[in-house]
A and B are shown apart, each in its own frame.
Chain A
Amino acid sequence: MPLGYLLRRLAVFLLIVWVAATVNFFIPRLSGADPVRERLLQMAAVGGTGTGTVEEVIKSYQAKFGLDKPLWQQYLSYLWDMVRFDFGVSITRFPNSVSGMILDALPWTLVLVTVATLMAFAIGSLFGALVAWPRAPRFIHVLAPPLLTLSAIPYYLLGLILVYFLAFTWRLFPLGGGYRVGSEPSWSWAFIQDAAYHSILPALSIILSGVGFWALSMRGMMITTQGEDYVTFAEAKGLRPRRIFLRYALRNAILPQTTALALALGHVVSGAVLVEIVFGYPGVGNLLYQAIRTFDYPIIYGVTFMVIVAIGLATLILDLLLPVLDPRITYQRS
């Protein structure tokens, strides 16, 4: 892999990280007032039993952000903190560090989103390829309209419907949460089984709604490859249809699909964040929701930054893998 391509791609990743940090720094300051400070003052004004801790938070906050320094110095020290994943402390759950809380929640989201997205991608691509294939079994064409309609429903609304029917009415699955109430997260077999059981419905809502999306773009890709000369030639040679489908058409159509996957990740994660809220799933989406409800700004900014960095990293890996998978992609600037 040429060094130039690698460096250019790394530069884009750093750019994304920089944008994430800068957005977090400047947007709150655009409003004129510093929302974190306002929130702290508000908490101090409410006072009561918590006053002592509020003062501690304010002290640590002011020491950390150096509010008396000029803006550019605040910005630079903010960037330095972000690079080290130091997001300060939670306002409402002082003195818990924000990065610690995010690290507790992140694995849940990562596993859920990765597994569900890969399954939706695989099933959807295969299904879309079959829809475009003239020799596909009839049931494929019967299934197509309902699956495409499902893709018009946002993940979390589909999740709401699934909870009502599969968990509330028929009691096949738990109503929410990431594991049985009362059990402690651990690496024991029993706990992993329980966690997997709890994740079926959230994953199902991402998969059901995602399959139609991937099927649609795969169908377009397959129609293009089917018109190619090498497919006609393969047919003329008398190759078996299954071989033409898998080795000639599908194989060439799936690769541009992977590029689409890299582009859609941000969208998928946005949807998954909302799914977690519907299910009370213990990932970053739920952490964010709790933070929004209590205006716990350090958590909001921390989650935003971490998720953007995670997605940037995932796209970077996909982009570096793609040219290895697909020799048609050149490293050169188009």
Chain B
Amino acid sequence: MIAVPVSLERTHDRIGRVLRGLRTYPMLTAGLLLIVLVLLVSLIGPLFVPREGVQVGSAPPDQRPSREYLLGTDTVGRQILAIIIYGTPLTLQIGLIAGAIGLGVGMVFGFVAGYYGGALDHLFRGAADVFLTVPGLLILVVIATTFKGAVSVMTQALVVSALAWMYPTRTIRSQVLSMRERGYVQLAKLSGMSGPEIIVRELMPNLLPYLAASFVSAVSAAILASIGLEALGLGPQNEPTLGMTIYWSLYYTSVLRNLWWWWAPPIVMIVIIFVGLFLISAGLDQVANPRLRRAA
């Protein structure tokens, strides 16, 4: 028998564990695959498709998909394939930034409200509840029309993040509430740990899968809000994000003019992103909550 070097054996072990993990959580695996697929399009695409394609007038207008223009062109002469390749990462970027801000604010509010309770709990939970019942899109419209003009991808992300904190606040708060009375938290309190220390060193590590799941749903919600705003025309006018592509295709009545190659690709991309993110967050829920594994 040939002796396998220890380090190699360990690597094999690790890979094996990851593979087993992926098999235990098929939803998580499928979701990750879809998102990796989307990322690959925006990573490998630029190697073959030049950026000039997203510029107005870079190609003849209203071309059907052909060998030269693989996904055709729109009414102002942009190439749809280039728009998808260079626009998708922008949409993901908006979602990631807004989702991260939403989760950050939600974590502060949720941990403080859940751990300290009392007046702070009333304040933060009340605010989250009130803003959850309000149709977010309309508030975002008021914000976006106020700061109209040259909106960049970054501004768009900040606008969307204004309403990305409520859901994380609620879910984190309820989780903290159920952990607050556990033995190890009591013990940490007795041993003289301060509140913030308990939150960071005792509560957060135990909630990691939950935090990951709420981050993914926050990103998904932020992307939904962002393409909704963009479909109303309130987005980065000069950037080819997926939502702006939908807006222009509606603006130039692409459906009635049978330019299906204009509106269908961004919709396909958006659906893949949403299904992927949904599967990842459902999969992470299974990791966090073993009872769901049986039900799946």
Contacts and interface: CB of A to CB of B under 8 A. Distances in A.
Q: Which of under 10, 10 to 19, 20 to 34, or 35 or more describes the interface residues of B?
A: 35 or more
Given A168-B255, A277-B232, A289-B232, A16 B130 contact: yes
B224 interface: yes
B233 A152 contact: no
A154 B224 contact: yes
B136 A160 contact: no
Q: Which of under 10, 10 to 19, 20 to 34, or 35 or more describes the interface residues of A?
A: 35 or more
B139 interface: yes
A136 to B, nearest CB: 15
A35 B145 contact: yes
Contacts of B71: none
Interface string B246-276: 1000100001101010010001001100110
A270 interface: yes
Contact of A304 (B138, B231, B270, B274): B138
A293 B141 CA distance: 12
Contacts of B141: 288, 292, 300, 304
A168 B132 contact: no
A308 B138 contact: yes
A292 B267 contact: no
Contact of B234 (A163, A271, A278, A292): A292
Contact of A20 (B126, B134, B256, B275): B134
Contact of B142 (A24, A149, A168, A266): A24
Contacts, number: 124
B138 A307 contact: yes
B132 A266 contact: yes
Contact of B135 (A15, A269, A289): A269
Given A35-B146, A303-B138, A311-B134, A149 B275 contact: yes
A15 B132 CA distance: 13
Contacts of A30: 146
B133 interface: yes
Main secondary structure of the interface of A (DSSP, over half): helix
Contacts of B250: 160, 277-278
Main secondary structure of the interface of B (DSSP, over half): helix
A263 B126 CA distance: 14
B211 interface: no
A270 B132 contact: no
8 contacts: A27-B146, A164-B260, A265-B133, A266-B135, A273-B135, A289-B233, A292-B233, A304-B141
Question: 5 smallest A-B Cβ distances: which pairs?
Answer: A270-B137, A152-B274, A266-B135, A304-B138, A270-B135
Interface of A: 12, 15-16, 19-20, 23-24, 27-28, 30-31, 35, 149, 152-154, 156-157, 160-161, 163-164, 168, 175, 220, 223, 262-263, 265-267, 269-271, 273-274, 277-278, 288-289, 292-293, 295, 297, 300-301, 303-304, 307-308, 311-312, 315
Given A266-B135, A304-B141, 18 more contacts: A19-B131, A24-B142, A27-B146, A153-B267, A154-B224, A157-B246, A164-B260, A175-B256, A220-B295, A267-B135, A274-B231, A274-B232, A277-B232, A288-B232, A300-B145, A307-B138, A311-B135, A312-B134
